[in-house]
A and B are shown apart, each in its own frame.
Chain A
Amino acid sequence: MNREVVVTGFGAVTPLGVGARTLYERWRAGVSGIEDGVGRCTEFDPTEHLSKKEVRRADRFTQFALVSSDEALREAGWDEELPYDADRIGCLIGTGIGGIGTLEHGKETLMEKGANRVSPLAVPLMMGNAAAGAVAMRHGIRGQSYSILSACAAGAHSIGSAARMIQTGDADAVITGGSEAALTPLATAAFAALDALSDTGISRPFDAERDGFVMGEGGAILILEDAEKARARGATILGTIAGYGASSDAHHLTAPRPDGAGAVQAMKRALEDAGYGPQDVLYVNAHGTSTPLNDRAETVAIKDVLGSDVPVSSLKSSIGHLLGAAGAVEAVATLLAMRDRIAPPTLNYEHPDEGLDLDYVPNEARTLDSNGHPAIALSNAFGFGGHNAVLCLEAP
């Protein structure tokens, strides 16, 4: 009954560089994008991709989304002309915080120079929906566009909701993903105050010595299309959003439920939505933040749903935690990995922790065998507030 939703393009800007394939290939090779305890997009120079005016009109998180969207549209073959009526294309881009750099700069101006000096651009740049609005405007998208804010689950929620937009018939295609640029003094201090950040500056998900997450920034965009229409226009199919499941912990503002029940629910729903069983899952792209609580609860949840044999790894070991962009960046990397039948590695994994006994694919990528079937993966994203969003992704 459900319409099939396929991915026909993706783009990314991450601490591993500019480009979706750069992200995946460097992660697979074990490269780390973390320097001095931060996952910064050091290879990203907005002026290489955007005009002076566009750069001024966009907070950094919007810049990531704009540049990722250009790459994604090119790959989908949309760059010359939209393949569908613009009214039938949506744009749904998640973020955890939005333009916090703009907000902080505006507050400084207010305090130092007075209210009359605050920039008229402050609101349109800081608002959480700025990336969705800017991407829709850049490409002339006139269907539904908005932003989802669900902390570190925002990217995955957006992709799942975008798939639903197509399945319900509200759109033929959706530009979707997530973006975040929160390596700012206030955001960094605030996460540190929560004791959520790694003191050592090392992202080592599932390792016994993990001591918190490493902050990262970046964005990723995917082009989702109604499969029938995509095939009719001869598009190259990169993968399928086979299923989507979401739930809430109703437990604590920042801590996950220790029994992982909310995560279990979301994973089961994603599988059920896809029509697959636990035995079909070839790989799990974990939320794997490198915090003591997440990695333990997520391990419990994965075991509950899939057992102990499935390979599990975390991209955050290579680029840190991209907050509201994480789910989108991880979906892109997972789809590319599934295409190649590869489980990319969990970097910095050295010391097994008691009770954390899954196959975390330590430090080196591994070849997977799908026995001639499509490669099916789950990609987990969990956010402060108790939000859980899980995508079931499939590569041909």
Chain B
Amino acid sequence: MATTTTPEAVEKTVYGALPQFGVEESDISRDATFEDLDVDSLDLAELSQIIEDEHGVQLKGDDVAKIKTVGDAIDLVVNRAA
């Protein structure tokens, strides 16, 4: 588990994970919505596992329901770790 949960570190994790789900790297930005990226609840469950592995932050079902954009996900992880 990585110890840093800076916005930059979490962004790197999320940006690195999304292409595994078939997202084009050029489409990824903080403002991009998961809906537009065709990232659904199953992908977000996997993303949660990756985030927990890297940053030790657990995202639950309620959390996942709240986040709409890539930026939302990054901010939630950073805040949760603080």
Give min CB distance, B13 to chain A, whole Å.
16
Tell me the bound Cα distance from A53 to B19 in angstroms. 9
B46 & A51 in contact (Cβ 8 Å cutoff) = no
Query: Does A117 touch B at the CB level, under 8 Å?
Result: yes
B49 & A53 in contact (Cβ 8 Å cutoff) = no
Tell me the bound Cα distance from A52 to B23 in angstroms. 9
One digit per residue, 1 when the CB lies within 8 angstroms of any chain A CB and 0 when it does not, for chain B 45-60 equals 1100100110000000
Q: For residues 113 through 127 of chain A, which have their beta carbon under 8 Å from a beta carbon of chain B?
A: 116-117, 119-121, 124
Query: Does B8 touch A at the CB level, under 8 Å?
Result: no
Query: Does B15 touch A at the CB level, under 8 Å?
Result: no
A116 & B49 in contact (Cβ 8 Å cutoff) = yes
Given contacts A51-B22, A53-B21, contact A121 B42 (CB under 8 A): yes
Given the complex, which residues of B lie within 8 Å of A56, measured CB to CB?
Answer: 20-22
Q: How many residues of A contact B (CB 8 A)?
A: 12
Given the complex, which residues of A lie within 8 Å of B36, measured CB to CB?
Answer: none
B42 & A120 in contact (Cβ 8 Å cutoff) = yes
Which of chain B's residues has its CB closest to A121's CB? B42
Q: For residues 25 through 45 of chain B, which have their beta carbon under 8 Å from a beta carbon of chain A?
A: 38, 42, 45
Tell me the bound Cα distance from A87 to B42 in angstroms. 27
A121 & B46 in contact (Cβ 8 Å cutoff) = yes
Identify which of A53, A116, A121, A124 contacts B38 (C-beta below 8 A): A53
Q: How many A-B residue pairs have CB under 8 A?
A: 23
Q: For residues 16 through 74 of chain A, which have their beta carbon under 8 Å from a beta carbon of chain B?
A: 51-54, 56-57
A52 & B52 in contact (Cβ 8 Å cutoff) = no
Identify which of B22, B38, B46, B52 contacts A119 (C-beta below 8 A): B46
Give min CB distance, A246 to chain B, whole Å.
36
A53 & B46 in contact (Cβ 8 Å cutoff) = no
Given the complex, which residues of B lie within 8 Å of A124, measured CB to CB?
Answer: 42
Identify which of B21, B22, B42, B52 contacts A116 (C-beta below 8 A): B52
Tell me the bound Cα distance from A51 to B53 in angstroms. 27
Q: For residues 279 through 331 of chain A, which have their beta carbon under 8 Å from a beta carbon of chain B?
A: none
Tell me the bound Cα distance from A120 to B21 in angstroms. 13
Given the complex, which residues of B lie within 8 Å of A52, measured CB to CB?
Answer: 22
A120 & B46 in contact (Cβ 8 Å cutoff) = yes
Given the complex, which residues of A lie within 8 Å of B21, measured CB to CB?
Answer: 53, 56
Tell me the bound Cα distance from A108 to B42 in angstroms. 20
Which of chain B's residues has its CB closest to A113's CB? B53
Tell me the bound Cα distance from A119 to B45 in angstroms. 8
Given contacts A52-B22, A56-B21, contact A117 B49 (CB under 8 A): yes
Give min CB distance, A52 to chain B, whole Å.
4
Tell me the bound Cα distance from A116 to B38 in angstroms. 24
> Which of A51, A56, A120, A124 is the most central at the interface, judged by chain B CB atoms within 10 Å of its CB?
A120
Tell me the bound Cα distance from A53 to B22 in angstroms. 5
Given the complex, which residues of B lie within 8 Å of A119, measured CB to CB?
Answer: 46, 49
Which of chain B's residues has its CB closest to A54's CB? B22
Tell me the bound Cα distance from A57 to B20 in angstroms. 11
Given contacts A52-B22, A53-B21, A56-B21, contact A120 B45 (CB under 8 A): yes
Tell me the bound Cα distance from A209 to B45 in angstroms. 52
Tell me the bound Cα distance from A332 to B42 in angstroms. 35
Given the complex, which residues of B lie within 8 Å of A116, measured CB to CB?
Answer: 49, 52
Which of chain B's residues has its CB closest to A51's CB? B22
Tell me the bound Cα distance from A120 to B52 in angstroms. 14
Tell me the bound Cα distance from A102 to B49 in angstroms. 18
Give min CB distance, A155 to chain B, whole Å.
29
Which of chain A's residues has its CB closest to B21's CB? A53
Tell me the bound Cα distance from A94 to B81 in angstroms. 47
Tell me the bound Cα distance from A112 to B53 in angstroms. 14
One digit per residue, 1 when the CB lies within 8 angstroms of any chain B CB and 0 when it does not, for chain A 74-118 equals 000000000000000000000000000000000000000000110
Give min CB distance, B46 to chain A, whole Å.
6
Given the complex, which residues of B lie within 8 Å of A54, measured CB to CB?
Answer: 22
Give min CB distance, B36 to chain A, whole Å.
14
7 contacts between A and B (CB under 8 A): A52-B22, A53-B21, A53-B22, A116-B52, A121-B42, A121-B46, A124-B42
Which 4 residue pairs across A and B have the least CB separation, nearest first? A53-B22, A120-B45, A52-B22, A120-B42
Apart from A52-B22, A56-B20, 4 more pairs, CB < 8 Å: A57-B42, A120-B45, A121-B42, A121-B46
